[in-house]
Amino acid sequence: MSTTNTRFPTIGQIVLGLLAVVGISLIAYRFVYGIGAVANLSDGYPWGVWIALDVLTGIALASGGFVMAGTIHLFGGRKFHALARPAILTAFLGYLLFIIGLLVDIGRPWNIWKAMYSWHHESPMFEVAWCVMLYTTVLFLEFLPAVFEKFSLTRIHAYWHSLVPWLIMFMLGFFTLAMTYSWLWAGIIICILLLWELAMRTKLMPRDKQMPIILIMAGVIFSCMHQSSLGTLFLIVPHKLHILWYTPILPALFLLSAIMVAPAMVIVEAILTEKSVGHKAHTHLLSRLGQVIPYLLSLYLLLKVADVVGRGAVPYVFMLNAQAISWWAEITIGCIVPIILFLDPAICNSHKGLLWSSVPVIVGILWNRMNVAVVGIKVEDWEIYYPKWSELFITMGIISIGLLVFQILAKNLPIYESEAPSGAHN
For residue 257, give the H/E element and its range. Answer: helix 250-273
236 Ramachandran zone, left/alpha/beta (phi>0; psi -120 to 50): alpha
From residue 218 to residue 247, the character string flagging contacts with another protein as x (rule: CB under 8 A) and all else as - is --xx--xx--xx-xxx-xxxxxx-------
Least spacing, CB of residue 195 vs another protein, in Å: 8
> Using an 8 Å Cβ cutoff, are 79 and 285 in contact?
yes
State the Cα–Cα distance between residues 45 and 55, nearest whole angstrom: 16
> Using an 8 Å Cβ cutoff, are 48 and 186 in contact?
no
State the Cα–Cα distance between residues 208 and 173, nearest whole angstrom: 23
Span from 105-113, 144-152, 258-266, 347-355 in contact with another protein (CB under 8 A) = 105-113
Nearer to another protein, 390 or 400 (CB): 390
3-state class (DSSP) for residue 377: strand
Return the ∠ at Cα 295 (arms to 294 and 301), rounded to 5°: 85
Query: Residue 74: what residue type?
Result: L
Within residues 249-308, the interface with another protein by CB under 8 A covers 251, 282, 284-285
Single out the residue of 2, 6, 121, 309 in contact with another protein (rule: CB under 8 A).
121
- Residues contacting another protein: total by CB under 8 A: 91
State the Cα–Cα distance between residues 188 and 336, nearest whole angstrom: 43
Nearer to another protein, 283 or 332 (CB): 283
Least spacing, CB of residue 41 vs another protein, in Å: 7
Within residues 339-378, the interface with another protein by CB under 8 A covers 377
3-state class (DSSP) for residue 344: coil
Nearer to another protein, 88 or 377 (CB): 377
State the Cα–Cα distance between residues 338 and 364, nearest whole angstrom: 10
Least spacing, CB of residue 12 vs another protein, in Å: 30
Span from 150-158, 168-176, 264-272, 392-400 in contact with another protein (CB under 8 A) = 168-176
State the Cα–Cα distance between residues 58 and 401, nearest whole angstrom: 14
Span from 100-108, 290-298, 312-320, 322-330 in contact with another protein (CB under 8 A) = 100-108
Nearer to another protein, 207 or 411 (CB): 207
Nearer to another protein, 97 or 193 (CB): 193
Within residues 302-331, the interface with another protein by CB under 8 A covers none
Nearer to another protein, 219 or 294 (CB): 219
Is 119 an interacting residue with respect to another protein (CB under 8 A)?
yes
Within residues 31-70, the interface with another protein by CB under 8 A covers 31-37, 41-44, 46-47, 70
Could you tell me how many helices (H) and strands (E) the chain has, helices first? 17, 0
146: nearest Cα among 391, 394, 412: 412
Nearer to another protein, 283 or 298 (CB): 283
Q: What share of the chain is helix, strand, coil (3-state, %, to 5)?
A: 75, 0, 25
Within residues 176-215, the interface with another protein by CB under 8 A covers 176, 179-180, 182, 185, 188-189, 192-193, 195-196, 199, 205-206, 208, 213
